[in-house]
Amino acid sequence: MTTQRRVVVEAARKRRSPELQAIRVLVLPDEDPDTSYLDQDEFEDRRKAYRQGDFSFVGIRAEAQIVVDGIAQTIVSGGLWGVESDSGDAYILEVAGEEYNDLRRILKTLGVPTSELPAKVEPSQVEWRV
């Protein structure tokens, strides 16, 4: 007669879904912009305006604060850098919308519920830090 040994195995712990704490779109200073196009003759006026400080270059990215198993994480979109700061509100909002949508896709991939987020970014969600 053979005796069977019982093996006790710990059951897999069910993980909670990551929790979304905050989401925003940031316009940040571009500390190392590629300004080489300004060296072309046809951009002489624009080059002068840049050197006078009439505009700068910025980057636009979306960020989300989430909590995963009790640990706070910041998830960011890829961002678009080298945007002229005086590009106009419509263009800045268009890029902000693209970054917001990219971040929503990333959050969905990570299992973060996004159904309660607005479908598109609102101007009030865009935060300038320049």
Q: Where are the alpha helices (DSSP H) in the chain?
A: 44-51, 89-109
| β-pair type (126-128, 19-29) | parallel
What residues are paired with 80 via a beta bridge?
60
pLDDT score, position 32? 96
Per residue in 35-67, pLDDT tens?
999 999 999 999 999 999 999 999 999 999 999
Per-residue pLDDT band for 16 (boundaries 50, 70, 90) equals confident
Residue 9 has pLDDT above 80, yes or no: no
Instruction: Please give the model's pTM, rounded to 2 decimal places.
Output: 0.84
Q: Name the token pair of 128.
A: 């300038």
Per-residue pLDDT band for 90 (boundaries 50, 70, 90) equals very high
For the beta carbon of residue 27, count every other beta carbon within 10 angstroms: 19
pLDDT score, position 73? 96
- Residue 126 has what DSSP assignment? E
Nearest-angstrom CA–CA distance, 24 and 27:
10
